[in-house]
A and B are shown apart, each in its own frame.
Chain A
């Protein structure tokens, strides 16, 4: 487990300032703004100084888990009676935005914990499962991961081959299979795993670290989300108690419901990454002089900045509205999918333009942009690729299924 002293703290201070071109803050409550500023202050003090070193050396900063839990980054949208935040969806979104403003990998850790591990336990778990896991997951005492993707089944999770059968002892099931590309897997204490039962129906199973036959090899060599740990989940005849099966759901609806919650958070998070790239490029362009004047004065650079803030403003409005619909319980999966796709694509484009604006300086870790740019390649891939989200919107508006 990596400790604070394992990282080199940058002496550069994080100068980030929020950008709110359409006065969206007026649509937030004072409490929303306090929540956002709280996470921003925490990020600037604790995460920004070490994030570049963590990403360069591909080391997940485990020691930050306590602080992130203490601030309330894990499951803020779930009820306080289980030790969670009890906040609304806009608050949840703002927290994800501020985390990803610093790094998509750190936001991923919080997304997986809150939306993909705590949320299914809350939504589909038994009362005992909720009491056993949620308070510890909220406090960071336990960390979780979410196993859906398999080596041969990514965009098409319905084809999964991970499966379990009754152990015949009246108490356990026997789980076999493998999951791949799993965020947090190398250090997670629990895994929410989606597997087929003997009838071929997808069920959620909580697998605890330490169960014989369960291993979590780490995936190395990523050029993206380097400050987040990714790995596999391998199950070889793992005996899992029957009470670890999530009783409340069956079929693909289970994992897809979790993905809705996580995709919603990602749509806010992507705005954070875009804002950080824009903020950095804007400040740099005003200071950097070429041909005797600041590069911000050149039309080609202004075009980039103008397009960036326009796209950010549009995404902020779309996402705020989505937050309101989430709070009212009216957001459809297709609406969430659209926001995820739009905002992540927007952030990818802004990261590329912003990187170019910094010239050679944009290539080093001196500035955050290239890290964001590489991170966003994962964000545009996981939780449904950009293409898959186009198919979701396409099917929603035409009624025609173009997946198969």
Chain B
């Protein structure tokens, strides 16, 4: 089985977010980047599946050279090879187009992404990619298993759980419960030195959206504590200050 895992390079979860260029660009100065945590789950699952049924796992990233530490980490965790499409990942449509363009000629059986990247939280790449490649897609999956060319999947739905089956090829996006992320080891890190990381130039895909500006959420107000004896004051404040009742 040939699996492709899409790896996005995102700011570490503890990053203090600021913007540049008139609030139209995220300020990457001094920011630590990591593999998008959902993508790490997708990668780990891909490895678990290929360890079971055989096959290879390719990691793909659309990004500039500064994303390479994350790609090397994917190789250290166990991906067999990696591809970087050399372009700034301007929006979901562009990223999906570039991945589709690469995947077209490689006939992958399974393409895994994260449910969303934790920076812009778009959650669009999996669906777009499937559409572009004319494959079915299942989003936000919590379990995947492969038997021959049949994939069984599970996903949480409102008030319950859906179990479905689908034929390969398929695009699926990973949700938290899918698996436990794998921590690389020194052997993997050494092996990653010599694993192929192919850099391909971007196709002529165009972004179809543009950021006008970013705004930070309003700072959280201070928390007022009101003692039990003064429940009346609470009602009054909810009326007059919070204006919610």
A-side interface residues toward B, CB under 8 Å? 17, 30-31, 33-35, 38, 41-42, 45, 70-72, 76, 80, 85-87, 91
Contact = CB atoms under 8 A, between A and B. Distances in A.
A41 B184 CA distance: 10
A336 B184 CA distance: 30
B183 A34 contact: no
Interface of B: 14, 68-69, 72-73, 76, 183-187, 189-190, 193
Contacts of B73: 34
A80 B188 CA distance: 12
Given A80-B190, A86-B190, A38 B69 contact: no
B69 A72 contact: no
Contacts of B68: 30
Contacts of B14: 17
Contact of A45 (B183, B187, B193): B183
A45 B187 CA distance: 19
A17 B69 CA distance: 19
B69 A35 contact: no
Nearest to B181: A41
A35 B189 contact: yes
B69 A34 contact: yes
A30 B75 CA distance: 13
B183 A71 contact: yes
B183 A31 contact: no
Nearest to A87: B186
A347 B63 CA distance: 41
A72 B183 contact: no
B71 to A, nearest CB: 10
A35 B186 contact: yes
Nearest to A15: B14
A400 B31 CA distance: 51
Contacts of A87: 186, 190
B68 to A, nearest CB: 7
B72 A85 contact: no
Contact of B76 (A34, A86, A91): A34
Nearest to B187: A72
Nearest to A29: B69
Nearest to A69: B185
Contacts of A34: 69, 72-73, 76, 184, 189
B185 A31 contact: no
A42 B72 contact: no
A33 B69 contact: yes
A38 B185 contact: yes
17 contacts: A17-B14, A30-B68, A30-B72, A31-B72, A34-B76, A35-B186, A38-B184, A38-B185, A38-B189, A41-B183, A70-B185, A71-B186, A72-B189, A76-B186, A80-B190, A85-B186, A86-B190
A17 B30 CA distance: 14
Nearest to A75: B186
B42 to A, nearest CB: 18
B183 A85 contact: no
A85 B190 contact: yes
A48 to B, nearest CB: 14
B114 to A, nearest CB: 18
Nearest to B190: A86
A87 B193 CA distance: 12
A45 B180 CA distance: 11
A72 B72 contact: no
Contacts of A38: 76, 183-186, 189
